[in-house]
Each structure stands twice: as structure tokens, then as C-alpha cells.
Structure 1
Amino acid sequence: MSDKDLSPPRIAVVVPVKNEADNILPLLGEITAALSDRWPFEIVYVDDGSDDETPAVLAAAKRDFPQLRLVRHRESCGQSQAVATGVKAARAPYIATLDGDGQNDPADIPALFERFLSASESDRDLLLIAGFRQKRQDNGLRRLSSKVANGIRASLLNDATPDSGCGLKLFSRDAFLDMPRFNHMHRFLPALMIRRGGDVVSVRVNHRPRERGVSKYGLWNRLWVGIVDLFGVMWLQRRASVPIIDRRD
């Protein structure tokens, strides 16, 4: 075991999953390959109440992936709560989130993290790096719905983000824990960061077709909750108060 393996993790990759048994091992291998020999890291998988073989596959994977840590929801609480559980469980000061279906490419994480680290240390708590998926590998209806949703979001929230639905994002743990939390908040992280007085930088990332398993949500069940949440975030923006620190002793 190297000294790097014994060092506290610098970055945690948080992966929320529900019924993704076939995607666990391939994605773990890719995350490990992307981050090994770069920074000390941990991988936090949050099983959001899976009823397939996901829990067994994850438990067995700990033998081959020592950086892997597991948290399980007894019942499904949704992706946003799974992300929040993973961030709270993480020990690293910086967080990368990744969808568990294999469509995000872990090889993009180092570029996002390098961009994040290029900011001064005092600015990182007010910075979010968001993936911007190129050549979306989804069907036409999903691409259209995403384009419309991103357009409406950008117009109403001014979130400076062309692809706020991309699961690949990077931010500080402290920043996330300081944000208001609600169901589906993971779709609004850029707007919530700006509400804190921070900045959002979008970085072009790869997007891959889903090779295993099926999507856990569709167009209509995202559309209606998205409208309600959109107005909720607009209310939060109007109620925001960001103090200017004049002195700190």
C-alpha cells in the first residue's frame, strides 16, 4: 500500500444508484483508473433502496476497490437525497457527482478538478464546475425535453449553465452543505451556487449511450415536479441575502 493510499482523500466521487447492478463494476473500474496516481480519493456509493442485486454487487466490490464506501437507504428517497447522503458521508473536502448509469465518463473528472483547483483556495467554496454534455447519446424526445428545460431554467433562474441536468459536477463539500436542501435539488445546483454569491463554470464533457439497465424516470414525471421546483428556486433566489464580510479576526 502506497503513502497515497494512506493519505486523507482529497476528492470524493459520490454516485447515487438505484437498481444499477450491471453498471457497478464497470463504472468503479473507470473511476479508479481516472483518479489513481493523481490524488488520494474515495468513492461513495449511495444505494437508494435498490431491490435488485445492487447491494450484493456493491458489498462484493469492496474487496477489489479499497476506496469504496457504501451507504444504503432502506427505502428509495430519490436522487437528490441520495446525493445529499453521499456528500454528508464523504470525508474529502471536494466532491464530484456522477450518475450511476455509466453515461457520464469518469475520465472527465480530472479536467473538472484541475479547473476547480486552478481557482484560489479562498474562492473554491464559491465555485461549481458543471459538465456540459456534448453529442447527447439519448433519444430525440429526451434531448428535446432537456433543451427546452435548460432554456426555461436559464431564462427564469439566470443560472449561467447550458446543461444543468448533467450529473457530472464538482464543488466543495462545505458549499453543498450550506445550500438549502429539497427534493430534486440536484437539478438546480448551479442556481443555488449563484444564490450563495458564487460562480458556475461549464466544461464540455463526454456523454455515452446507456449500455446496461433502464432509466428510472421519464419525461412526464420530471416535467411536473420540475415546474414546481423551478418556482420554488425562484422564491429562494428572491429571498437570498449574501453578507459582505468586512472583517474576520
Structure 2
Amino acid sequence: MEYEFTIIVPLYNEAENLIRVEEKLASYIQKAPIKTSVLFVNDGSKDNSLTLVEDICQRNEAFHFISFDRNRGLSAAIKAGIDYCKAPLVGYIDSDLQTDPEDFNLLLEHIGEFDLVTGMRTNRKDSFKKNLSSLIANGIRRSFTHDGMDDTGCPLKVIKTDYAKRIPMFKGLHRFLPAMILLQGGKIVQIPVRHYPRIAGEAKFHLMNRLVGPFLDCFAYLWMKRNYINYQVAKKDNF
């Protein structure tokens, strides 16, 4: 079946959330404005997440999965999802469901004009420490990238797949997706979306990997920006 939009769902030890993820996404794709599929990327979970994902995919035609041999990290999971995506549009949502799949519609409204549309979480339902570390990390990243984005950590995005596939991903680059679209000459925009508290499972990020990791990744981004190869073919023959 030809899909127009694929939603990537990276997951690591999220067994407590997966039935709720199935219900929410199955409900969404029934009323989505375009034909939509779901691609789970199991990032080497050590609980029974993979078993649950396999069962979910067996009973839902539009749900599919890939599973890593071991834990590789969020950036690797997103890259794998993009690599396996065949639809012209690719999205991304976290399996903790702190954002609402229905808000993809808000992003899809703008994807014709833009090449990446990212959510911006409003009225965040996280702890003070988590909100503060996110604010600091976003400020640091924005000072390096000048991408104008206030919340690149928002786990709700829609990207034109041909742009997404040209992103040379490295560990931590999921925080720089808007900046990487800009390097290709693409257009980006952020749209306010709803945010909810985590009600099951455990957060995978803490103060140190919200601040130290993003700071160091900024230097990797600067190296890539200096060396990034970008071109457009003006003419070709019929080969």
C-alpha cells in the first residue's frame, strides 16, 4: 500500500506505554488527512517492548517495525526510521505520548510551504529542573545554529522525506534537525502544540545528558556546517 506519511516511533523500554501508543495512533490514522503508516523503531529494549510491538503490528495493517540488535540511541533510531521510510513525508513522535498525535494535523497544514515543521511545546508539564535544563540547552544550541527554533527537543516533527534522507546523522544530531534542513537551503517553521505529563515508563534523559551532550554536539554541528556538501542538479540527460 502506498502511504503519503510515515510516523516514526522510537522506543526503548516503553512496554508500559505501548498499548496506549497503539490506541492513540490507530485512532489518529483513521482520521488523518492523508494516508498514514506507523514505523516503530525498537532501540534494543530490554523489557518486553519488542514482543508487544510485534503483536501490535500483526493486528494493525498500517503498523510496521524494525528492531536494533542492541541499544544505539535516539539519533540512530530516528535515522533508521528515515532510512526505511518510503512515504514522501516522514514524522516523528516519542512513545511516552507527552505530545498528541492529533497535533500532527497542525504541522501538516504547513508542510506544503515548508520542508520541516516542528512542534513547540506550550504549557509544558515537566518538572522545573527538566524545563530549566531544556531552556538552557535550547539557548546554547540556538547560539551556535542561529536556526530561530525555541524547542528543537519537541518530539513532534514533520519533514519532507527527500530532505530528511540527506541529513548526515550522528549521535545527538536529532537536536539539530531544523538546522540541518537550513544547511540544505530548506525552509523551517515551528508551530505550538500541546504537552502532557508522562504517565508511564521512565524518562531516558537527565540533567547531564540534556546539557553536557548538547553543548558538545554543537561543536560537531559547527564542523559539519563548515564541511557540509550541498548541491542542486541544474540539468541532466536521460540515464
Q: TM-score, structure 1 length as denominator?
A: 0.89
**Structure 1 position 143 matched with structure 2 position 137:** no
**Structure 1 position 236 matched with structure 2 position 224:** yes
Residue in structure 2 matched with residue 211 of structure 1 by the alignment: 199
Amino acid at match of 1:149: A
Q: Distance in 2 between matches of 1:131 and 1:211?
A: 21
2:170 to 182, 188, 212: 182
Residue in structure 2 matched with residue 3 of structure 1 by the alignment: none
**Structure 1 position 12 matched with structure 2 position 6:** yes
> How far off is 1:65 after superposition?
1.7
1:197 to 185, 195, 200: 185
**Structure 1 position 95 matched with structure 2 position 90:** yes
Q: TM-score, structure 2 length as denominator?
A: 0.93
Q: Distance in 2 between matches of 1:63 and 1:246?
A: 45
Count of aligned pairs between the two proteins? 236
Residue in structure 2 matched with residue 57 of structure 1 by the alignment: 52
Residue in structure 2 matched with residue 24 of structure 1 by the alignment: 18
* Segment drifting more, 31-40 vs 77-86: 31-40
Q: Which SS does the other structure have where 2:78 is aligned?
A: helix
Q: Which SS does the other structure have where 1:160 is aligned?
A: coil
CA distance 1:64–1:246, change in 2 (3 Å): closer
The equivalences for 1:162-177 within 5 A come to 162-177=150-165
> How far off is 1:137 after superposition?
0.9
The equivalences for 1:58-97 within 5 A come to 58-97=53-92
Q: Distance in 2 between matches of 1:148 and 1:8?
A: 42
CA distance 1:76–1:147, change in 2 (3 Å): same
> How far off is 1:241 after superposition?
5.1
> How far off is 1:154 after superposition?
1.3
Residue in structure 2 matched with residue 110 of structure 1 by the alignment: 105
> How far off is 1:91 after superposition?
2.0
Amino acid at match of 1:201: V
Contact 1:134 1:207 in 2 (8 A): yes
CA distance 1:52–1:229, change in 2 (3 Å): same
Q: Distance in 1 between matches of 2:232 and 2:15?
A: 47
* Segment drifting more, 130-139 vs 28-37: 28-37
> How far off is 1:114 after superposition?
2.0
Q: Distance in 2 between matches of 1:209 and 1:248?
A: 52
Unaligned 5+ segments in structure 2 are: none
Contact 1:34 1:110 in 2 (8 A): no
Contact 2:133 2:210 in 1 (8 A): no
Q: Which SS does the other structure have where 2:16 is aligned?
A: helix
Q: Distance in 1 between matches of 2:141 and 2:236?
A: 36
Amino acid at match of 1:31: L
> How far off is 1:24 after superposition?
1.0
Residue in structure 2 matched with residue 152 of structure 1 by the alignment: 140
Q: Distance in 1 between matches of 2:140 and 2:212?
A: 14
